[in-house]
Amino acid sequence: MTFNSTKMEKNRNNLIGGMVLVDLRLTRLAKILVDYSVDLKKGEHILIEVTGDGKTLAKEVIKQVYRKQGIPFLTLKDYSLLRELLKECSVQQIKSMASYELKRMKEMDVYIGIRGAQNISELGDVPAEKMKIYMEHFTKPVHSEERVSNTKWCVLRFPNHSMAQLANMSTEAFEDFYFKVCSFDYSMMSRAMDPLVELMEKTNMVHIKGKGTDITFSIKDVPVIKCDGRFNIPDGEVFTAPVRDSVNGYVTFNTPAVYQGVTYENIRLEFKDGKVIDARANEEEKLNQVLDTDEGSRFLGEFALGLHPLIKKPMKDTLFDEKIFGSFHLTPGSCYDDAPNGNKSAIHWDLVCIQTPEYGGGEIYFDGVLVRKDGLFVVDELKGLNPENLF
């Protein structure tokens, strides 16, 4: 399923007989989403939710849904309107919003979310107490609890000018990168992930060392899940969750993290018996407000290794950054039902640390055995995941 862009396929701005040609890359991606990522079946109800840009991709997804004899539903949203709505919202108002969206979500078998924010900081000045209301009374029941647990779902970004700027690339160059990454051969990647899943399932203690990082935790008896293009596009990670009270030490994340419209740099978290006891960053007050969302937000709900060989540097977009080859991420907040550790929260915030040499290097040990050094796997059974072996 690997895709190499050609001039023939980069034709969305070409005109023939006064008609704009469909970008064949969008059609190809829509087929991957419908046929592979959510594996749509005849008669299934699918909600396609577009936030910001992404209508052109949504059109192609709808066409593919009808091809598979599915039943599509569509919602269009906008972050600037959401910002205005949240600035003076009440608990009852957000609960009412959630009630009808939750009812609809319960009628869906499948969900595809297309995110195309024109400004990633659009929600950055919404008061913290209002964002807390929204996360607790809307996002948690509608998405964290219902959509994630009870639908086949996939979430992806749309390649607009904003994303290109974040990646420090021209729009055309970013689009080429985006479609190459998103249309990777995930079935090949999936097979290469199997030995890592098997090893992590046998592992008790994880020890991560690096610049500003020395942290240990157990993953014993927590399920290990490979992400091979089913839930996110792009994809490429293997995740589990730390045993809730086992996390001790400190970790520094060298990848910028954008959350609720705020950009955080150099987040450093210190843990004792699973709980964040000290949190520092450039936006320290706001960071601690997020971590005080509820009782579960200072505990971890996920640990994952990033594996996508084509994603090598951060671009302030979690769906891409958490897949960077040679990275790991830890997640304050709720665990997934697929890899439960008992931690529940209204937040789920993936924080990424890259361990390749240009980002400071680092080591990961499973039960005292070095398995990855400076971003590359060093044990024989895992070397198939190193970039030179994934093409």
| pLDDT value, residue 256 | 95
- For residue 282, give every residue at least 6 positions away whose Cβ sits within 8 Å of its Cβ, in sequence order, or none: 264, 265, 266
Per-residue pLDDT reduced to its tens digit, 148-158: 999 999 999 99
Residue 5 has pLDDT above 50, yes or no: no
The mean of the pLDDT values for the chain is 93
Q: What is the pTM of this model?
A: 0.81
Higher per-residue confidence, 6 vs 364 = 364
Helix ranges, the chain (H): 24-31, 55-67, 79-86, 91-106, 128-134, 148-150, 161-166, 171-182, 186-202, 284-291, 318-321
Per-residue pLDDT reduced to its tens digit, 299-324: 999 999 999 999 999 998 999 999 99
Distances (CA, A) of 18 to 22, 37, 59: 13, 34, 20
C-alpha closest to that of 303 among 238, 380, 376, 369: 238
Please identify which residue in the block is written with the tokens 């904003």. Answer: 162
| pLDDT value, residue 22 | 58
Distances (CA, A) of 94 to 98, 99, 140, 210, 257: 6, 9, 12, 42, 26
pLDDT band of 20, cuts 50, 70, 90:
very low
Per-residue pLDDT reduced to its tens digit, 179-229: 999 988 888 899 999 999 999 999 999 999 999 999 999 999 999 999 998
| pLDDT value, residue 120 | 87
| pLDDT value, residue 14 | 44
